[in-house]
Amino acid sequence: MVADAVSARPRCLRYWRAMLLLVPMLALLALFCLAPMGWVLAHSVQGEHGLSLEHFWVILGSPFYRQAFDNSLRISLYSSVIALLITLFGAVSLRRVDGRLKNAVIALTNMTSNLSGVPLAFAFIILIGTNGALTLLLRQWGWLQDFHLYSRNGLILLYTYFQLPLGLLLLYPALDALDDHWQEAAALLGASHWAYWRHIALPVLAPALLGTFILLLANAMGAYATAFALTSGNFNLVTVRIASLVSGNIDLEPNLAAALSVLLVALLALVAAVNQWLLKRSYHAR
C-alpha cells in the first residue's frame, strides 16, 4: 500500500507537469483558433434582425458566390491531386537515390516551402507572366501558344508549385512504412511492379495519401495572398471574396464573410470526415 502510494505520487506529478507544459499551446489555440472560429460562427448567423441563416441563403442563392466556391474547389482539387502524384513519385524516387542527392532535394524542398505569398506570385510573373522570360522564350520556340498565368490554369500551376514542398514533407516519411521485402515477396509470387503498387503499396499508403491530400486541399482552399497578388483580386475565389467583404470599401459585410468562412470550414470538415470513414473501413482500423 505504502509503495503504491509512493509510486502513485510521482506519476500524478508527472501527469500535471505534462499538462502544465501544454498550457501555452492550449492558450494560443484557444485565442487564435477557437475564439476566432467561435466569433465567425456567431456572426455567420447574425442577421439584420437577430439570429438568422439569411447569409447562408444569400451565398447559396448567388451564382457569384457559387462560382467562387466552384473556382476554389477546382483549383484546390486539381493542384492537390497533381502535387500528390508528383510528390508520391518524388518520394518513391528519393528513397532509392543516393544519400547526398536525397539530402540536397530535401533541403531545397524545405527552403522553397518558405517561398509563398507575394514573393512567389512575383517570381511567377517575371518568369511565366505575359512578358515573363520563360514565356517569351517558349513563344519564340513555338512551344507556347495560349497560356495565361492569370487564368485558372495559371493559378493551378502556381498552387501546385507551393503544394509540392508540403506534399513531399508529409509523404516522404510515410514511405518508410513500406518494407522492401514485400516487393521482393510479391515479385517471387509473380507480381509485376505495377501489381505490387496496386495490391500492396498503395493500400498500405492509403491513410498517408488521403491525409496528405486533405492537408493539401485545406492548404489550397485557404490560400489567399499568392492568388490575390497574382490576379489583383480579379479571380473569383472564396478567400478573395471573404477578404473583400471584410476590408472592402463598398461591400463591407463581415457577417456574410463569416458565413462564407463557415461554409469553407464545413466543406473541409466534410472531406476530413469522409477520409475518417474510409480509414475505418480499411484494415488499418483493425
Partner 1 sequence: MFYVEIDGLTKRYGASTVFEDIRLGLKQGEFVTLLGPSGCGKSTLLRCLAGLTTADQGRIRVDGQDITTLAPQQRGIGMVFQNYALFPNMTVVENIAFGLKMQKRSAAETAKRVAEVIRLVELAGKEARYPHELSGGQRQRVALARALVVEPRILLLDEPLSALDARIRRNLREQIRDIQRRLGLTTVFVTHDQEEALTLSDRIFVMNQGRIVQEGTAEAVYTQPASEFVARFMGSYNLLSPTEAGRLLGVELKGHLAIRPESIRLCEPGEQYSADLGAPLRAIIRQHQLLGNIIRYQVETEGVSLQVDHLNRAADDLLPVGSEIAVVIDRRQMREVH
Enumerate binding residues for partner 1 (CB under 8 A): 179, 181-182, 184-192, 195, 199-200, 203-204, 282-283, 286
Measured from the CB of residue 281, what is the shortest distance to partner 1 in angstroms?
Answer: 12
| 8 A C-beta contact, residue 225 and residue 117 | yes
Q: Which grid cell is 54?
A: 439569411
Pairing between β-strand 46-47 and β-strand 50-51 as defined by DSSP bridges: antiparallel
> Nearer Cβ to partner 1, position 184 or 251?
184
- Report how far residue 175's alpha carbon sits from residue 171's, in angstroms, rounded to the nearest whole number: 6
Measured from the CB of residue 198, what is the shortest distance to partner 1 in angstroms?
Answer: 11
> Nearer Cβ to partner 1, position 110 or 192?
192
Measured from the CB of residue 179, what is the shortest distance to partner 1 in angstroms?
Answer: 7
Residues 6+ apart with CB under 8 A from 114: none
57 vs 53, 54, 60, 117, 263, CA distance in Å? 7, 5, 5, 32, 11
> Nearer Cβ to partner 1, position 9 or 199?
199
Measured from the CB of residue 101, what is the shortest distance to partner 1 in angstroms?
Answer: 18
> Nearer Cβ to partner 1, position 123 or 191?
191
> Nearer Cβ to partner 1, position 121 or 186?
186
Q: Which grid cell is 284?
A: 488499418
- Report how far residue 190's alpha carbon sits from residue 192's, in angstroms, rounded to the nearest whole number: 7
Measured from the CB of residue 201, what is the shortest distance to partner 1 in angstroms?
Answer: 9
